[in-house]
Structure 1
Amino acid sequence: MDRLVEAEVRAAIARTPAVVVVSGAAGMGKSTLVARVVASAPHAVRVVVDCRALPDEPFVVVRELVRLLPTSGADVVAAIEAARGRADYRTCAALRDLLTAAGPAVLVVVDDVDRADRTSREVLRCCASRPPDGTALLVTHSAGHPRWGSPGVTHRFDLGPLTPEEIGVAGDRGAEVHRLTGGVPLFVAAVLAHVRPEDGEPGGALSAKGIPEELRVFAEERLRGVGARRLVAAAALLRGAFPADVPAEMCGMAVDKAEAALLRAADQGVLVALEDGTFEFRPPVLGLAVAATLSATDRRRGHAAAARVLERRGGAVRELVHHCRAAGDVVGMARHAERAADRAVRSDDPETAVDLLRTVLREPALPRRTRASLAGRLGRLALGSLAYGETLHLLHEIVSDDLLPDGVRGELRLHLGLLLGNQAGDGEAQRAQLKTAIRELRRRPLLAARAMSALAVPYWGSERVDEHLGWLAAAERTVPARGDPALLMAVRVNRASVLLELGDPRGWDAVAALPAAATPGERQELARGFVNFTDAATSSGHYRAAAECHARAEELGAGPSYLRHMSTSHGLRLALATGRWSGLDHAAREHLVRTAGAPFAAAGASLVLAQLAVARGEWAEAEEYLRAPGLRWASGWCAPAVVAAAATRVRLALARERPDEAGEELARALDVVRHKGVWAWATELVDAGVQALLPDAEAAARLLAEFTADVTARDCPFAHATIPGCRAAIAATHARFTEAAALFTQSAELLAALPRPYERARAVESAARARLAAGQDAVAEVTEAGRTFTALGATWDAARCDHLAREHGGSTGPRPGRRGYGAQLSPREREVARLMALGRTNREIAEVLFLSPRTVERHAARVLHKLGVTTRDQLEPR
């Protein structure tokens, strides 16, 4: 209750004569407010009349008031008798005289005056027009403000619902309590007292624990004056808005009669009549309370009737499942859940069906076979869903049932294993479950082959690549010629994925040999395949093919699901590699928000943001992004993005002049790559590793030789383009600058053909440095590299090139003759402003931009002046 309103009411009744009207819908706390005010009122005489407790007879409220006053009310009674059931002025005057005689300080409270009989309301309104001196009349009213009193003596207050903040419960729980209760104080207090945080989501907890007694009593009171109570209670079983003909059909009543009865109930405040002709219980907890007035048997029958009616009308599957479950019809519930699962496959939207299937699987009365069948559907659908935690728990529970046949358990375990790897990121647990599933699926070869093909994917587990290839061969031997088209497609997709990931020249032939998708299940598997192919092609350097695969995945439609998020993640990495950096940081940050709680779907975005941050000299931000769970070696998770993240950490440590840190990160990453035996993913790592090892040129050469020996025969254009640049770096260490310049130029040309513009610009810069070291003129090449970095937004790299060009009499900045920037920030000032907003000191900015601290100080002063701020704290990151 609003304490401010309470204080204002106290102040109003203290200044007599006074008429105070407190309005508010039922449950808003009017009676509570009255009780608190009366308890502390200073008036000598305090009389409270509760109109809800009195019969609807002429003058009954006035008679009750006369009875409670301490002085004789004979004159009022005589006037009532003479009025013969009609309110008249004599009765009003007699009551006013009685109040004056009871003085000098009288407080009269009439609670719920709109429930009073008509004649009493008219007499009280008459008295309120000229209240006696020393008298305060406090009335509460449930609907609007009654036109009582006169100017100067009347005070009106309206009690409204609580806001979500006023409820005092934070987060999603507070929002759900507000949705359920509409913020009505009575309802809020009852729900919070009844449902504890440990009970889970408030709506579900109310369904499980039952409605609080005070809400059931409230509903009973609301229903007391409503006809067709059975119809209204049956309607309360429906969730959301409903037309009158649905409860009418449930109760076997004519539609026009049902509509009239519902309108009367709306007049009584039991429900709300909407503009489109439908009805709704507002807030939802009122509908739950009305439904709770039915006996358990009648509720069950009502839910069964609702299910029958809604099924005939093609109602929402979620509602059909809800009503069947409440009716105890587990067979019907399972049937509708299966329909939802089938529809989800067709619509590429697994989230709703996954939620429904989990709801159904919580039902302990489900037959074992039905439970296993639904769990199988859940496992298949959950592979495309971000919400995997509860599904994992359910599948763990179901596969532990020893009475399930091996084939059924093996299928469920297959889905469990795939979820553990793909969504939860636990590769070791995934492989253990898949290996057990293969033994359980000995009589179901297609499913066994599906499990083997998953074990062939080298991203998961600590095994060497030879073991993955062994599982691929086993899958090819096991897979039958015929069977479920979606499973056959899944095995073929995995084979093509593994070959591409390893740089096997047969990979693209395997992609080309994939059949067209004829069924929704095949389409989903093919979409998954092209998402995987995008990742493999991006890592190996087939960027045009990667773009085609990404477009094909989008065309097949991955749906608003885990697969769609993975596709987006790979698309972000592809954009980074091919130099499409404009707006890329914003898109990556948005993706992180959408995939919160799904670290492996978010890994690509975190990597992109980290690499952008390194290119801009934002060391702390890069370090933070590289801490993302999906970018660490953990639980048997080893993928191209993880290796690229390790390479980025090495580059970051070198940029910050921390060679020991770079060496430690490189050693850890190389241990994993060597053990795994997948060098096709290690191009960025070897490139950064050679730079880190250059103080020991022989060690750098050994690493490069090891890498070259593995990837030479592989289909890895990015690796092949990078090798000459690594050889050039080693040659430059031995002062063979002309040779180094030629090798760097060769690498730049190969990188341009891919294309990888950022890496090409680095190679052009390195070639220019080698030529300058050899005494040749190479300022034009430095300028070219710097302008490429500037166009990309690689601030740190551009500043480094500009510094080098200035050392040799050139510049990578704007060409001479350009006009000034006036009140606008210059490009250099924008760079300084961005780093200032990130909290960098002048010295730190100077190090990133290759400027002197004094120069940065001048830029910083101009930034503050142009932006009209006085401190750095007022700057926002751009």
Structure 2
Amino acid sequence: MGGLNGEPGRSGAGSRGFRFVGRDAEQRRLRTAAAHPPGVVIVEGEAGIGKSRLVREAAAQLGEDGRRVLIGACHPLREPLPYGPVVDAVRRALPGLPAGLPPPAPALASLLLDGGPAAPEGGPKSRRLHLLHAVREFLAALGPAVLVVEDVHWIDDGTRDLLLLLARDLPDGLSLVLTQRPEDHPGGVPALGTALLRQPGTGALVLSLDRLAESDVRDLTRSVLGERATSDLVAALHRRGEGLPLVVEEDLLTLLAQPGRADDAARLREADVPRSLREAVAERLLRLPADAAAVAEAAAALAAPSAEAVIGAVAGLDEERGAAGLVEALHASVLREYGPDRYAFRHVLARQAVYERTPGPVRRRLHRQALRVLAELDPPPLVQIAHHARALGDRPHWQRSTEAAVHQALALGDTGTAAALLRQLLAEPGLDSEARARAARSLAPIAAQGVDFYANAVALRAILADRQLPPAVRGEIRTGLGSLLLNQAADREGMAELARAVEEIGPDTVAAVPAMLALVFDERQGPESAERWIERAERAVRGSNDRPLAADVRATRLTLAVTVGRPVPWEELDRIPRGDPDPGVVRQTARALYNVGENVLDYGHDRRAAALVAEALELARRTSFPAVELHAEVTLLRLEVLAGRWEGLPERFEALAAAHPDSLVVAAERTIASGTLALARGLSAQAVDVFDQAAVTTSERLMGGLSGRTAAGAVAVRAARGEHREAWESARAALAAVRQAGHWMRAGGLVPAGVAAALACGERAAAEELTAEVTAALDGRDAPAAAAELHTARGLLAEADAPRRAAAEHHAARLAWQEIGRPYETARAAEAEARALAGADRVAAAAALAFAAAAYAGLGATADLARARALGQERGLRPKSSPGRRGYGSRLSPREREVAELLARRATNQEIATALVLSPRTVEHHVANVLKKLATTREAVAAALRAAS
């Protein structure tokens, strides 16, 4: 068995015990390359990116596989020792060498051992050749081995020559692994050049490490802090360190030192720069010439990517010296280019570190110069000017600049920047009441349309706590809060806030119209109340010159018509303005298109819905309407689920959730998609967890069709696990809520799931009553999806005593789903058709089952495919396998690949047995074969599958 020999205090598990995250693919590539000598691997990345951790994790595995790993490192201040990094690596390997290995040759032994033989005589060139041969001879005698030399950006000339010579004739059993920082190479030339990677017969691999994704930071944070790892904290950690592992780990150590604090994210936002980063930045600055250091200080004070001329002028340098200093700062990787003539620090904490170490008088001078230089630009960057005025303590100047910047941002349609600036104004303790009211009234409508739920809600609630506000102003702000609670959290409290806002503003006034329009959609009040609110809004806006408000009323009227199940007004939708010069009018067009699109998607008009939502997204982006933009992005992902385009969906949902951690709609749709895919792939335990969690959340909120779809998923997964009584109880509660709201057109699969659950519990009368009730409710309605679900419900009812009628109903459902464009539902209907026909028409049943099986296979619905196969075997609808089996050798068989894919999704053996309709013993056999063929562990199957494909 080989061993791992590393530097003291740097273990393969990580010196601080943090979990290894985000590098599975890189680790596997490194291990694979190192395990196939001879070869050279270069691992590169900036300081703190995790090069050493990656190498040590891979080295630990290589050592367990029987490879001897020798690790040395270059240092900027190494004491004189010829070829020190290589000699250090060999010296540390000596205690673990097997007995019988020949001793090192004199040229090497003289450096390794006290009192060792004298080095061979001769000049430097002769001694170097003797040492090279001695090192090569020693490494070759070790057998399978890996020589790691870290930090070769600090390599000395002698070691560089030694490694280049060694690489030209690597021993057959040796792999050479080097780590380096590209930014530290003078002029961008690698320390060892490119010749190292061009040797005939030698493998070559360059691994460039990227920063951690937010999902990786979340995994790391959860492993360290457990339940304290909120989405807000993870976002703060990722944003603050920009994914640099060194910074994230330093911040986690800071949080660990103060356990149990509820304000981790807020405290982190105010924390100092981590010590290790401060030291790294200070070291880099000390190496800069004076003009480059001045440029760095100016860039730190400017705090935003800036032009060369601006940075030089703020630094107090003429054009030539400013340009030269900037080039030096770029070569030293202190600054980087962010775009044409825009330069700034590589990450925000590096800027903060430089700013904090700049003396106070110098900082004030830089801010004064920045104010002067920026004011001369056309147009002046008002947000930056406000920043420098505030840094100088000039509050009147800061307030004027900030208010001007708000107007500028709103004129450009940048509501996000406007909201952030308004929150800054409102957070200022000494702001006068008139300015506070102005800012509050401006923020309220932006907050209602924005996606930064937490920050906007906190700001609006804080304003409402001010008892000196006039009632009408309070009502406008409360309208923003109520709309925000509804749009972003589906919170019932939002309706109560809106009702209060109408009274505070004054009923039937123009200012109260936004609140009245939101109250139209109070599900608890019924259609009569909705009609009264929309009529009051229409009367109030009549005669008003506020065109965006009139467009808001029109959009609400269109939405209401579709929501209550009236025929979709397609012609009116075509007439609403897309190219109006007023962005406020176009925003309401985007809202109408999205709302109608979302509703008709629930009804089963998927193609029309996709077109409407895509157009809404385009208009929302064009006019800066973030709330509609976010909802449209979520709905387009939902359309991908329905259309069976499942590849990469979990990652796309995760990215959207990471960008909008406070959005309940994103979380709910992500959960439904996750549960649907988990159930289709046999991960029933995961599906139960996610659907149960979502069902609780949506049942307590005003979430319309989402509640029905979530409840349907929870019922289906319990039925799949054989928990029929629990499934029926869940269905009954959810059906009661749909009944109260009158949402039978958008029950989202709950009706057939409820009928199936009732029949499984012997509650046939309840199943028949439910089907009759829904049949009456859908009479004359244009709801293709609900009609297809009703065909399925009738088919289920008829299967016991009228199989041909049942098959006809299931076939009708199949055709309906096919027309709608939902392949998973189409396959489920075809399978049900085959089940109904199995005893009456085996040929037709076999054809329907073959259709379903092919669809399941294409979707990757492993559990459904296994169930269909089992039905075919049980009913004799497909031929049994021939006695002779095809040999697959070291490749995975189709069944083993199914098992491997379930293992990659962390399925248990029992879940695999259930999903694939296999015995536990058979599953154990397949799992063992998969792990053996992939040469991996159960935890690493996902990475092994990716590498194999």
TM norm structure 1: 0.68
Structure 2 counterpart of 1:754, one-letter code? I
The answer for the alignment partner of 1:716 in structure 2 is 783
The answer for the alignment partner of 1:440 in structure 2 is 504
CA distance 1:388–1:173, shift in 2 (3 Å):
closer
**Structure 2 Cα separation of the partners of residues 254 and 790 of structure 1:** 67
Structure 2 counterpart of 1:535, one-letter code? E
Aligned to 1:783, the other structure's residue is in SS state helix
Mean alpha-carbon deviation: is it higher for 523-532 or for 544-553?
523-532
Does the aligned pair in 2 maintain the 1:250–1:306 contact within 8 Å?
Answer: yes
**CA deviations over 1:240-291 (Å, ceiling 9, x no partner):** 576796599789x89579969999x99xx9x999999999899545664577
Q: Paired residue for 2:517, among 450, 453, 459?
A: 453
Task: Report whether the alignment pairs 1:531 with 2:594.
Answer: yes
1:817 Cα shift? 13
**Structure 2 Cα separation of the partners of residues 306 and 532 of structure 1:** 47
* Map 1:516-555 → 2, pairs under 5 A: 516-518=578-580, 519-555=582-618
**Structure 2 Cα separation of the partners of residues 665 and 534 of structure 1:** 29
The answer for the alignment partner of 1:36 in structure 2 is none
The answer for the alignment partner of 1:646 in structure 2 is 711
Does the aligned pair in 1 maintain the 2:744–2:774 contact within 8 Å?
Answer: yes
Task: Report whether the alignment pairs 1:741 with 2:807.
Answer: yes
CA distance 1:206–1:491, shift in 2 (3 Å):
farther
Task: Report whether the alignment pairs 1:492 with 2:576.
Answer: no
* Map 1:296-307 → 2, pairs under 5 A: 299=364, 303=367, 306-307=370-371
Task: Report whether the alignment pairs 1:572 with 2:637.
Answer: yes
**Structure 2 Cα separation of the partners of residues 745 and 272 of structure 1:** 65
The answer for the alignment partner of 2:721 in structure 1 is 656
Does the aligned pair in 2 maintain the 1:591–1:602 contact within 8 Å?
Answer: no
* Map 1:193-204 → 2, pairs under 5 A: 200=266
Aligned to 1:504, the other structure's residue is in SS state coil
Does the aligned pair in 2 maintain the 1:728–1:740 contact within 8 Å?
Answer: yes
Task: Report whether the alignment pairs 1:429 with 2:496.
Answer: no
Does the aligned pair in 2 maintain the 1:615–1:795 contact within 8 Å?
Answer: yes
Does the aligned pair in 2 maintain the 1:531–1:567 contact within 8 Å?
Answer: yes
1:474 Cα shift? 3.2
The answer for the alignment partner of 1:872 in structure 2 is 938
1:719 Cα shift? 1.2
1:555 Cα shift? 2.6
1:354 Cα shift? 2.8
**Structure 1 Cα separation of the partners of residues 406 and 563 of structure 2:** 32
**CA deviations over 1:773-803 (Å, ceiling 9, x no partner):** 3465433222222222222222222222212
**Structure 1 Cα separation of the partners of residues 241 and 683 of structure 2:** 42
Structure 2 counterpart of 1:485, one-letter code? R
Q: Which has the larger radius of gyration?
A: 1
**Structure 1 Cα separation of the partners of residues 698 and 296 of structure 2:** 60
**CA deviations over 1:64-123 (Å, ceiling 9, x no partner):** xxxxxxxxxxxxxxxxxxxxxxxxxxxxxxxxxxxxxxxxxxxxxxxxxxxxxxxxxxxx
Q: Paired residue for 2:688, among 599, 609, 623?
A: 623
Does the aligned pair in 1 maintain the 2:561–2:568 contact within 8 Å?
Answer: yes
The answer for the alignment partner of 2:30 in structure 1 is none
* Map 1:650-689 → 2, pairs under 5 A: 650-689=715-754
* Map 1:217-366 → 2, pairs under 5 A: 237-239=301-303, 255=318, 284-285=351-352, 288-289=355-356, 293-294=360-361, 299=364, 303=367, 306-313=370-377, 314-328=379-393, 330=395, 332-338=397-403, 340-341=405-406, 344=409, 350-366=415-431
1:645 Cα shift? 0.7
Q: Paired residue for 1:750, among 810, 816, 819?
A: 816
Q: Paired residue for 2:772, among 699, 705, 720?
A: 705
**Structure 1 Cα separation of the partners of residues 494 and 920 of structure 2:** 54
**Unaligned regions of 5+ residues in structure 2, if any?**
1-6, 10-153, 156-183, 185-210, 213-219, 225-233
**Unaligned regions of 5+ residues in structure 1, if any?**
6-143, 146-160, 208-213
Does the aligned pair in 1 maintain the 2:785–2:817 contact within 8 Å?
Answer: yes
**Structure 2 Cα separation of the partners of residues 378 and 803 of structure 1:** 60
**Structure 2 Cα separation of the partners of residues 373 and 451 of structure 1:** 19
CA distance 1:818–1:429, shift in 2 (3 Å):
same
**Structure 1 Cα separation of the partners of residues 547 and 610 of structure 2:** 27
Q: How high is the sequence identity, in percent, across the aligned residues?
A: 32
Does the aligned pair in 2 maintain the 1:334–1:374 contact within 8 Å?
Answer: no
**Structure 1 Cα separation of the partners of residues 448 and 887 of structure 2:** 57
* Map 1:345-424 → 2, pairs under 5 A: 350-424=415-489
Structure 1 counterpart of 2:591, one-letter code? R
CA distance 1:272–1:524, shift in 2 (3 Å):
closer
The answer for the alignment partner of 2:529 in structure 1 is 467
1:700 Cα shift? 0.7
Does the aligned pair in 1 maintain the 2:842–2:877 contact within 8 Å?
Answer: no
Aligned to 2:437, the other structure's residue is in SS state helix
1:664 Cα shift? 1.9
Does the aligned pair in 2 maintain the 1:843–1:853 contact within 8 Å?
Answer: yes
How many residues are paired up? 703
The answer for the alignment partner of 2:870 in structure 1 is 803
CA distance 1:771–1:545, shift in 2 (3 Å):
same
Does the aligned pair in 2 maintain the 1:489–1:525 contact within 8 Å?
Answer: yes
**CA deviations over 1:373-432 (Å, ceiling 9, x no partner):** 223333333344432212211111212333333332222211111111212332x21011
**Structure 2 Cα separation of the partners of residues 784 and 618 of structure 1:** 24
1:444 Cα shift? 7.6
Structure 2 counterpart of 1:396, one-letter code? R
Does the aligned pair in 1 maintain the 2:302–2:370 contact within 8 Å?
Answer: yes
**CA deviations over 1:337-375 (Å, ceiling 9, x no partner):** 455545655766544433232223212233323222223
Does the aligned pair in 1 maintain the 2:913–2:920 contact within 8 Å?
Answer: yes
Does the aligned pair in 1 maintain the 2:725–2:757 contact within 8 Å?
Answer: no
Aligned to 2:780, the other structure's residue is in SS state coil
CA RMSD for the aligned pairs? 5.2
CA distance 1:367–1:467, shift in 2 (3 Å):
same
CA distance 1:332–1:469, shift in 2 (3 Å):
farther
**Structure 2 Cα separation of the partners of residues 241 and 746 of structure 1:** 61
Does the aligned pair in 2 maintain the 1:233–1:293 contact within 8 Å?
Answer: no
Structure 2 counterpart of 1:758, one-letter code? Y
Does the aligned pair in 1 maintain the 2:460–2:481 contact within 8 Å?
Answer: yes
CA distance 1:413–1:724, shift in 2 (3 Å):
same
1:665 Cα shift? 1.0
CA distance 1:238–1:854, shift in 2 (3 Å):
closer
Aligned to 1:626, the other structure's residue is in SS state helix
Does the aligned pair in 2 maintain the 1:382–1:419 contact within 8 Å?
Answer: yes
**CA deviations over 1:170-203 (Å, ceiling 9, x no partner):** 9787888889x9999xx99xx99xx998895677
